Amino acid sequence: MRARRTRQSEADLTPTFRKMTKADAPAATALLRAFLAEDEFYLDSGAAYGDMTGGQGVAAAVELFLTRPELGFIWLALRDGKAAGCCIICYAISTSIGGLVGKLDDVFVADGARGQGIGSAMLDALAAALKQEGVGRIDTAVHHKNSEAARFYARLGFKALNEERLAKVL
């Protein structure tokens, strides 16, 4: 009996990945709110993004992903049936590759699930899913002071573009 429980526990801890559904919206909202509240690099740039609400735009954004899936989606990492991480993909068209690219944002792994490979596995599964959809590239940005994130993305095969991402609030 004990060995069976161990195997079951290991199986429960193996993460799975998928696009957010309506039923997942509360968990995705909670993860994204935690990201916006905790991430020191987002907090450093939040005003430039137009975030003066302390993350109150999250619910509206989650609803947009549900009602306008042609614009993008929230990708979830689930462990033991619970959301353990998420990231955002918005579609764009690249003239350089003549096709779709995924704009990756808000990559987040919940406290208690960090340091266990979930972030890497989440982005590997995302890349495979996007490739199947015909997306030719994933673009992301890293805060210039966030060397840990830069190393994380480099390990996953991302290359520096020697560009600065800019924003203009309308």
Q: Mean pLDDT across the chain, nearest whole number?
A: 89
Q: What is the pLDDT of residues 72-122, one digit of tens each?
A: 999 999 999 999 999 999 999 999 999 999 999 999 999 999 999 999 999
DSSP at 102: E
Provide the pLDDT for residue 11. Answer: 52
Task: Evaluate whether residue 168 is within a structural domain.
Answer: no
Number of folded domains that form the chain: 1
The reply to whether 163 falls in a domain is no
pLDDT band at 2 (very low <50, low <70, confident <90, very high): very low
Sign, CA torsion 50/52/55/58: negative
| Any domain includes 6 | yes
Contacts of 21 (CB under 8 A, 6+ apart): none
Token pair 């979830």: residue: 76
Q: Which residue has the higher pLDDT, 116 or 56?
A: 116
HEC secondary structure over 114-142: CCCCHHHHHHHHHHHHHHHCCCCEEECCC
CATH of the domain at 128: 3.40.630.30
